[in-house]
Structure 1
């Protein structure tokens, strides 16, 4: 299960205003309205998307992502927000996000990529492009621009904003807020910046403070990405068993020297269950095999525990939002 920072949940509910029951909305993702904002507190991504869709049933959400993004403040992001602020240039600030985003989300990756006309700051988020995810992507792009404006010494305007999903009923508010063309139905979710914009010194940039903060962030990142030994061992056992079909929990537990009951309890202590761990292992294994070209798609389907390639294709599209063939093509052309 993927997670996102609770900061976005609180901000989007506040941006929705009196049209929604704030307490009930926050409770739906496990938050209380009287607790302080904590960017380090996570909520399940699917619950966050569900909440966005419930809000959309009650109010017009066309401009909701823009209001949410505009309300974001660097000081609310803890050490990462300070590191963004202390970086010497906007490019360096976005490089911090590219490297350390795992501190506030497990479902989004960011990439700085050279492009015609400048550099793209790209948002990668896999999965079905349901309404909740679409709204979340727009809010994330808006927040990326809002945070950049907080460190830029002059008014900041991107060259263009790209959004993969179709446009809402009107885009005038988006183009007014971003200050540039916003192209829906694009191939990427991204912001295009002129290179001179990214090279501009930040208002409070300080190389020494930046170095200190990134050392702290490296330690935080190392801590959260280190998998518990049991989880790593279980994933290895599941991966080895997949070619024989869907693995059974008692068999994996026995191979680890545990009873099925103890195995279930210990996974629960890490916020996991056997089904989600098997799904995660299948996805990780599939993505790794697709990055190589030594296995056909049919072989990868077999190695990840699917009896038919069509079933593998459906599952992979559910995980990543694209087919295995398209994913392999994208990976090999990077």
Structure 2
């Protein structure tokens, strides 16, 4: 699994001199950015050093769209909130890799979710709060106030910051959820932006975003794109080669050939993703072993246990018992 990255002026804006001191990885298509793990780690340290439990969320609300690059420019040009959120979701890969941003309308609600897919990056409380704050900042441009929130959830557990954040938001978030999510009434998707001076050249920004996504796709190894789709598909059952090939618009044969060219068989990539995600589930959650096995695409719990015993020399039960710190030494 290749290193995850983040890029754009938002990095230096949020991290200041710390961002500049982190070495970019020129092997990634985001050579102008920094490793996402470093970015998240610095955010976490900054969060721990302040007494303001809502500081990360507020920082997200204050991010200027122009500072996240072409994706932000394309969002700014949209007159309707629904269009802006969908463009944000589609364009986010140009800002950050190994990340899933989704916008789903369910009955009369809109669910806007954000999750770092790379299981090696943890803890990431500050990043989650920052990112949902950014999403709320986009919504605020279209007249959505905090009292419109139906629900707010985070994948991390509650800590000392919970009360400050709850006061700032006017509601108490849920913690320990499967993803980081804002739920709003679906009716807000029709809200129009409040900035009469915003640039209306929707078509031009849309073409630039399409070009940036095309360039990124061509610069990203097929194996990396496959890993992202496997990570995004876990918990939804999409962990087989046929499903991934279909998602990439390729035949299975073409996908096998492309991966063979990179000397990265699908089976090996799937095993690597299962190993990383499974370990994270074991030591960070209390999910049943059978649920984890099913989410990872194993036929049964026995196959799951056998694989993890082979990889780590310890059973899933033992891995959960020894916890995060001991596992970090093993890996």
Asked whether the two chains share a fold, i.e. TM above 0.5, the reply is: yes
1:161-205: CA deviations, max 9, x gaps?
A: 111111122423222333444212223211101111121122248
Q: Does 1:73 align with 2:34?
A: no
> Structure 1 residues 8 and 63 mapped into 2: Cα distance closer, same or farther (>3 Å)?
farther
Match of 1:325 in 2: 294
Which of 138, 142, 145 in structure 2 is aligned with 1:147? 138
How much does 1:78 deviate?
3.7
Q: Does 1:291 align with 2:293?
A: no
Counterpart mapping for 1:46-61 below 5 A: 46-56=37-47, 58-60=49-51
1:25-48: CA deviations, max 9, x gaps?
A: 3344249xxxxxxx9942111111
Match of 2:276 in 1: 315
| 168-177 vs 311-320, which moves further | 311-320
User: What runs of 5+ residues in structure 1 fail to find an aligned partner?
Assistant: 14-21, 32-38, 236-279, 296-301, 330-334
> Structure 1 residues 72 and 314 mapped into 2: Cα distance closer, same or farther (>3 Å)?
same
Task: Note if contact 1:65-1:136 (Cα within 8 Å) is conserved in structure 2.
Answer: yes
SS in 2 for 1:190: strand
Q: Whose radius of gyration is greater, 1 or 2?
A: 1
Match of 2:248 in 1: none
Q: Distance in 1 between matches of 2:32 and 2:105?
A: 33
Give the TM-score normalised by the residue count of structure 2. 0.63
Number of equivalent positions: 255
SS in 2 for 1:144: helix
C-alpha root-mean-square deviation of aligned residues, in Å? 3.9
Q: Distance in 1 between matches of 2:91 and 2:68?
A: 12
Match of 1:276 in 2: none
Task: Note if contact 1:90-1:201 (Cα within 8 Å) is conserved in structure 2.
Answer: yes
1:114-140: CA deviations, max 9, x gaps?
A: 235511011132234865422111110
> Structure 1 residues 50 and 154 mapped into 2: Cα distance closer, same or farther (>3 Å)?
closer
Match of 1:2 in 2: 4
Give the TM-score normalised by the residue count of structure 1. 0.63
> Structure 1 residues 191 and 303 mapped into 2: Cα distance closer, same or farther (>3 Å)?
closer
Which of 304, 314, 319 in structure 1 is aligned with 2:267? 304
Q: Does 1:217 align with 2:180?
A: no
Task: Note if contact 1:164-1:184 (Cα within 8 Å) is conserved in structure 2.
Answer: yes
Q: Does 1:29 align with 2:19?
A: no
Q: Distance in 2 between matches of 1:170 and 1:50?
A: 17
SS in 2 for 1:109: strand
Task: Note if contact 2:12-2:20 (Cα within 8 Å) is conserved in structure 1.
Answer: no
Q: Distance in 1 between matches of 2:157 and 2:144?
A: 32
Q: Does 1:174 align with 2:176?
A: no
